[in-house]
Amino acid sequence: MFNNEEFGDYVIYSAWPQYKVFFDGRSDMYGETWGNQYMKVATLQPDWQKVIDKNGFGWMFLPTGSSLSTMLLENKNWHLIYADKVAEIFVKDIPDNRVLINKYPDVKPSPPNA
Protein backbone atom coordinates (compact mmCIF):
# COMPACT_ATOMS: atom_id res chain seq x y z
CA MET A 1 0.00 0.00 0.00
CA PHE A 2 1.12 3.53 -0.72
CA ASN A 3 -0.17 6.06 1.78
CA ASN A 4 0.62 9.55 2.93
CA GLU A 5 2.32 10.03 6.29
CA GLU A 6 -0.83 10.90 8.23
CA PHE A 7 -2.75 7.89 7.00
CA GLY A 8 0.33 5.80 7.75
CA ASP A 9 0.08 6.83 11.39
CA TYR A 10 -3.60 5.88 11.43
CA VAL A 11 -3.07 2.49 9.77
CA ILE A 12 -0.25 1.61 12.18
CA TYR A 13 -2.54 2.49 15.10
CA SER A 14 -5.66 0.74 13.82
CA ALA A 15 -4.60 -2.11 11.54
CA TRP A 16 -1.03 -3.20 12.27
CA PRO A 17 0.20 -5.93 11.77
CA GLN A 18 -2.43 -6.97 9.21
CA TYR A 19 -1.63 -3.92 7.06
CA LYS A 20 1.81 -2.44 6.73
CA VAL A 21 2.41 1.12 5.60
CA PHE A 22 4.92 2.53 3.17
CA PHE A 23 5.50 5.70 5.18
CA ASP A 24 4.28 7.42 8.34
CA GLY A 25 4.91 10.54 10.39
CA ARG A 26 8.25 9.24 11.70
CA SER A 27 10.06 10.35 8.54
CA ASP A 28 13.43 10.43 10.31
CA MET A 29 13.17 6.66 10.88
CA TYR A 30 12.93 5.83 7.17
CA GLY A 31 16.11 7.42 5.90
CA GLU A 32 16.80 9.57 2.88
CA THR A 33 16.44 6.90 0.20
CA TRP A 34 13.04 5.76 1.44
CA GLY A 35 11.92 9.34 2.02
CA ASN A 36 12.94 10.30 -1.50
CA GLN A 37 10.81 7.48 -2.90
CA TYR A 38 7.86 8.69 -0.86
CA MET A 39 8.30 12.29 -1.98
CA LYS A 40 8.71 11.28 -5.62
CA VAL A 41 5.29 9.65 -5.62
CA ALA A 42 3.51 12.07 -3.27
CA THR A 43 4.58 15.10 -5.31
CA LEU A 44 4.36 13.43 -8.74
CA GLN A 45 8.02 13.95 -9.58
CA PRO A 46 9.41 12.42 -12.79
CA ASP A 47 9.42 8.61 -12.66
CA TRP A 48 6.91 8.50 -9.80
CA GLN A 49 5.19 5.58 -11.53
CA LYS A 50 8.45 3.61 -11.52
CA VAL A 51 8.49 3.81 -7.71
CA ILE A 52 4.94 2.42 -7.65
CA ASP A 53 5.92 -0.45 -9.95
CA LYS A 54 9.18 -1.15 -8.10
CA ASN A 55 7.39 -1.47 -4.77
CA GLY A 56 4.43 -3.43 -6.16
CA PHE A 57 1.75 -1.14 -4.76
CA GLY A 58 -1.69 -2.66 -5.32
CA TRP A 59 -3.64 0.00 -3.50
CA MET A 60 -3.30 3.59 -2.30
CA PHE A 61 -4.77 5.40 0.69
CA LEU A 62 -4.71 9.13 -0.07
CA PRO A 63 -6.14 12.46 1.07
CA THR A 64 -9.19 13.53 -0.89
CA GLY A 65 -8.28 16.01 -3.59
CA SER A 66 -4.51 15.42 -3.42
CA SER A 67 -2.55 15.78 -6.65
CA LEU A 68 -1.84 12.05 -6.67
CA SER A 69 -5.50 11.24 -6.12
CA THR A 70 -6.47 13.52 -9.01
CA MET A 71 -3.91 11.81 -11.23
CA LEU A 72 -5.20 8.34 -10.35
CA LEU A 73 -8.78 9.36 -11.13
CA GLU A 74 -7.63 9.86 -14.73
CA ASN A 75 -5.66 6.60 -14.88
CA LYS A 76 -7.58 3.57 -16.19
CA ASN A 77 -5.21 1.22 -14.31
CA TRP A 78 -6.49 2.48 -10.94
CA HIS A 79 -10.03 2.31 -9.55
CA LEU A 80 -11.55 4.39 -6.79
CA ILE A 81 -13.28 2.03 -4.34
CA TYR A 82 -13.86 4.42 -1.42
CA ALA A 83 -14.23 8.19 -1.10
CA ASP A 84 -15.29 10.63 1.57
CA LYS A 85 -14.34 14.22 2.43
CA VAL A 86 -11.06 13.09 4.03
CA ALA A 87 -9.77 10.00 2.24
CA GLU A 88 -9.85 8.09 -1.02
CA ILE A 89 -8.79 4.50 -1.58
CA PHE A 90 -7.67 3.30 -4.98
CA VAL A 91 -6.85 -0.24 -6.09
CA LYS A 92 -4.77 -1.20 -9.08
CA ASP A 93 -6.50 -3.12 -11.84
CA ILE A 94 -4.86 -6.48 -11.18
CA PRO A 95 -6.47 -9.92 -10.72
CA ASP A 96 -6.09 -9.79 -6.91
CA ASN A 97 -8.26 -6.64 -6.82
CA ARG A 98 -11.01 -7.64 -9.28
CA VAL A 99 -13.43 -8.57 -6.48
CA LEU A 100 -13.15 -5.06 -4.97
CA ILE A 101 -13.30 -3.35 -8.36
CA ASN A 102 -16.47 -5.26 -9.22
CA LYS A 103 -17.98 -4.70 -5.76
CA TYR A 104 -17.48 -0.90 -5.91
CA PRO A 105 -17.80 0.07 -9.58
CA ASP A 106 -19.48 3.45 -9.17
CA VAL A 107 -17.63 5.26 -6.38
CA LYS A 108 -17.33 8.97 -7.13
CA PRO A 109 -14.77 11.34 -5.61
CA SER A 110 -15.95 13.65 -2.86
CA PRO A 111 -15.05 17.31 -2.74
CA PRO A 112 -12.10 17.90 -0.36
CA ASN A 113 -12.91 18.91 3.19
CA ALA A 114 -12.73 22.70 3.27
Q: What is the tally of helices (H) and strands (E) in the chain?
A: 5, 4
Residues 8-17: tens digit of each pLDDT: 556 655 556 7
pLDDT at position 110 is: 84
Evaluate whether residue 48 is within a structural domain. Answer: yes
Residues 7-45: tens digit of each pLDDT: 655 665 555 676 666 655 555 565 566 668 788 988 999
Phi-psi bin for 44: left (phi > 0), alpha (psi -120 to 50), beta?
A: left
Q: Map residue 106 onto helix, strand or coil.
A: coil
Domain that holds residue 70: 2-103
Please determine, for residue 101, whether its predicted confidence score (pLDDT) is greater than 60.
yes
Evaluate whether residue 109 is within a structural domain. Answer: no
Evaluate whether residue 111 is within a structural domain. Answer: no
Please determine, for residue 76, whether its predicted confidence score (pLDDT) is greater than 70.
yes
pTM for the structure as a whole: 0.82
User: Residue 35: in which H helix or E strand, if any?
Assistant: helix 31-42
Evaluate whether residue 34 is within a structural domain. Answer: yes
Evaluate whether residue 71 is within a structural domain. Answer: yes
Evaluate whether residue 110 is within a structural domain. Answer: no
pLDDT at position 22 is: 66
pLDDT at position 2 is: 86
Number of domains the chain contains: 1
Evaluate whether residue 113 is within a structural domain. Answer: no
